[in-house]
Structure 1
Amino acid sequence: MSEANVLIETGEGVEVLLVDDESDFADLAATFLERADDQFTVETASSADAGLARIDDRRPDCIVSDYNMPGMNGFEFLEAIRERYPDLPFILFTGKGSEAIASDAISAGVTDYLQKSPGTEQYELLANRIRNAVRTRCEAQRADRQQQLMRLTEFAGDTGGWELDRGSDRILLTAATRRAIGRPDQAEIPLEEAIALFHPDDREDVRQTLSKAFEAGEKLERRWRLQPSDRDERLIDMTITPVVESGGRVTKLRGAGHDITDREERRQELETYETIIEALTDAVYVLDEEGRFTYVNDEFVELVGYDRETILESTPSLIKDADAIERGENHLRRLLSSDGPETIPFEVTLQPREGDPIVCKDLMGVLPYEGDQFRGSVGTLRDVTSAKEREQRLEQQNDLFKKAQDVADVGAWSYDVQTGEAFLTDKAYEIHGLSPDEELNPATSLGFYHPDDRPAIRDAFDRAVETGESYDLELRLIDTADDLRWVRTRGDAELEDGNVVCVRGTLQDITERKRRERALEEQTEELDTLTTELEEQYRYLFEEAPLMAVVTRAEDGRPIIEDCNDLFVDTLDYERSELVGAELERFYTAESQRELLDEGGYERALGGEFVRENRGLVAADGETVETLFRAVPRKNTPEGSRGTLAFYIDISERKRLERERDRLEEFTSIVSHDLRNPLTVAEGYTELAREDCDSDHLARVDDAIDRSQALIDDLLTLAREGKKVTGSEPVELSDVAKRSWETVDTDQATLETDATHVIEADKSRLQQLLENFYRNAVEHGGDEVTVHVGDLDGGFYIADTGSGIPESDRDEIFEAGYSTADHGTGFGLRIVEQIAEAHGWDIRVVDGERCGARFEITGIVTAR
């Protein structure tokens, strides 16, 4: 049975749509694909438009598309598909292959990318790609269904549930509710006892609401204060749902409560930290319920280029086109839906008042509101034009009592204490990675738990057997495939005449929930100061941010340092006691003092203007520290007092680098323009001279010109390759070695490689390093030289069968201008050394095994 067969549970196979404007090629590919897997049914279309029409009529399991097609190309076709079917597998199968195309394909959201090649082997590879894509989609859909089932049974965080029986006036409590009221072992309590757990002022409303739900049969929502003790009061949003029998009578009420205490406290804290919002580097906006801007910070004003008054009188149509507005409204509807997320990240293109469009990441949420009283939305914009970021927030649902146990993905077990017999459901076996015909009981299952968790489950089970004590644990379990899973295991004893006769329990795979919780924790750490623990984050920003921060108060119109972070102290090298309480201008250069006081920079900041200028600070040793300065007025200060919150970014190093960059640009301009132009003129006149006379001297002139041009190329490379590598990726060494060989004129030379390493490197610069090695080998070893590329421990080597390099010359070969070849520039190996140093690698030359030269590059991070 093929791999694709197990993906299609209906047995109907895999339907593939192949779109290519070359009809003959498309028919041939379809034939080979159907021969490669009898589960495939392949239809073809000669254009993207024809493909869209075919998909609207009957959707395939996978799309295979060419890139270069008349009308709509492959990327535009993919975009049209994603708008209609976001998760439909899409493989780009194109004759145009390059790193840029592959990168663009991945950025566009293509499922897979494959370049066409000669021969029929490519169709077997394409068939495998199709199988993998379809399998991945099926597994994702199945995982999504499982996740939905899990959400019906798991009530995370502070959500609790209950069920009230009308006949007995007793309330059944979920575990989360029992924990919330401090009664973890009391599964059921009388109605009046439950009402007494609420604030005295809310109890009558609780009674009336329950009565109304019973009599009217209506779903109700209320907000009450839960007060299980005098020192513990929580604000709860409660949803009450009647359970109606077939005769129309309400016999039970089911409720779900969500603790919103912390959310309300955070909402109030937001007002306290308005100053921090103004200091954020992200643009912040607030829209009212009608979609008009009611607040934007200074970063937003600067981003879009309109004045604040114009923005606050407008809707997003001021800076967005109709498509972007429609997508934003769709996201808002998701936020407002009952099961929507709290925030949604998405990309949006803005059109500022002047200049090119700006691509931003928009993180949008809604303002807190009660019932149907929507108050508006809030969001942050981050310019990601040069480096797009992706960020997703996990959806949280607060659904309760949806016939949970009937649909829960839970295994069950029972153990007869008297006979020692055990029974387990199929799901319990599946969680352990076993089939139902294999032996599994409480004793043997202990070996599946993580060694550190075995004492806990052993003690809990023994107590249940001996004393009847129930348990509810979350533990790690290692199944037969050695996969680590998180499980929730529960056990409850059954007693007769005071003796335990049976222990029954459940086993639930909660691995996905644990992963979601970990992901949520990681995302929570990345939330800005608008989320929880704002005060701690502000302090962390103030003390630990990589910029100098100073809080001032105004005295007689002059700034006095009230507080500063350690970076400000360390940069200026004063004692903190010398800084705090001193006039800020004391630590400014004369020019910066004038800008601060005479030109009114401080007064403008106090007046609410977001000041951003250059400032020169004077350190204790008299040296000047060049900084980029930002200041905003402080908010929530005592009445009658004023001050600012200021940040200083040390740009001294940047200024130095800018000067170095200017010198480098001047050098490259001279080399590439002022030297090339005379050489080009000389080359032209040499050609004219050859028409008048045929002289061996002219050939020497041509050779000198070519050598000069090569020398210029290597000088430019030297100038540009000196920078450190700031971005690297895993690279197949063997693949890059072969590709580099194809770009060098090697005549009859031969490349051998058995390299298997995957190394961390800048791919293009690694390719240039290898090309220079190859040219060096051919220059010094002749047309028939053999070059070998192989692995080393922590690196790789390049060896050739040439004449080798004398030991006396090995200290000089990497020097600029050194060459023993008649036509060499002497810069090739110098460029090699610079590329190695930019990566942080070591390079040396030794004797080769076949008498030639051998270069060893070490200090490399290898992934395989």
Structure 2
Amino acid sequence: MEVDGNGVEDELTPLIIGIGSEVEITVLVIDDDPDLLDLTASFLKRERDEFSVKSEPNPEDALERLRENPVDVIVSDYDMPGMNGLEFLEAVREEHEDIPFILFTGKGSEEIASKAISKGVTDYLQKGTDSSQYSLLANRIANAFEQYESRKRLVQSQQKFSKLVMNSTDMLGIVNAQGRFEYISPVCKDILGYEQEELIGECAFDYQPVEDRKHVMELFFDAIEDPTQEPVIEHRFKTADDDYVLLETRGKNMFDDDLIDGFVVNARDISGLKKRERELEQQNEQLKDMRKVIAHDIRNPLSLAANSMVLYEETDDEEHLERTKRAIERIDSLVDRVLMMAKHERTVEGTEQVPLKDIAERAWEMVGTETDRAELHVVDSRELEADPNALQQAFENLFANAIEHTSGDLTVRVGTMEDGIYVEDTGQGIPKDSRERVFESGYTTNANNTGFGLNIVKQIFVGHGWEIDLTEGADGGARFEITGITFRPTVY
């Protein structure tokens, strides 16, 4: 331990910047006494090889040097003509508020020390007569520089983190044990439409639909109890315009971290990803269907036509020619099926808010008005997010299917349920053992049809992220229920 001019012990600690680092520290010493200035510079160079010492007898010249050549640490005397050490410190702080400044003076007093601290001095050391004071000064310089570099690295790290958070497409949030937001990154404006301050203090669960909330809360509170659990949850979150966005949220319990003291959530919008996944699933199914038609269905009539022609050439029997003709017609029908499949490769395009009533009535105009034995009844209507053209096509196919399979009078009803819509008719219905198969590609009970009508209906609804189920209507007819739909709150 060393003792400074005031009799205070000071520990000599080595300068540690980094393992294997060789750092040169530029020290600017200011003292109006040339002999003391040279002596201080000489001792400092002898104490530390990493010191590069510059000397200035005049504070004004020192300020000019600082403007031209930056230094790492300043060591200044106090009692100097023209500008004393505190005035020099004040001038330095106007341009360099963070640079380490050590007041090294023979005129020590509590008043000077107090003023120096208030003006932002880094350290204060009183000159003595023993040469050990320069070892102490060297140690103070090294410590001041290391602290300055550490603060600078911390600020840089904070700035990098802030930029990462500001520019990340994912939302970063911290919630407390009750699920209330204590922090959320600014990207919440782009994803959810809220400003940060609108969500701080709000309970995250209140922004989730009831059907998602229970599952999310169970996983959250399980992770609160057991920090080893890091749940990954898919759920919907209400946006500022009363819509919902699909999020994938990853959580981590960090209540034991003194800095975080909360549950960290990282969320990203996966609505587009899920839509693309559904599109790819549709395309894969369509490719399988096309392969089936080409590899099997078309091959059969081709074989029939070829063999029938052989028999016709051998026997001149017109029946073989008729069979060939029917096989070719079947091939033509199958080619139409393949073309239709290719045409509907992408069943859902851009979506918008559309009233159910308008879509149903436009679809009915296309198919229902061709017969005077059928009528449409829209029971109620709400707005939903959908591709209007694809949705109208789905309704056209449902209406046409009902009319085609009913010989007498027919009523088709369209309405809404809690999480979906329904299309119900008063026709003869569809047997239970056929209800799953009616959605299959090419399934039909009419040889003149392609069997793609209800398959396309299912593709369209699944492409929107919904589900379709077939059951029996109130009057014994067919009832199609489409669920998984999120409505706008307005009821018409």
TM-score band (shorter)? 0.3 to 0.5
More strand by share: 1
Bigger RCO (CA 8 Å, 6+ sep):
2
Provide TM-score, normalisation by structure 1.
0.22
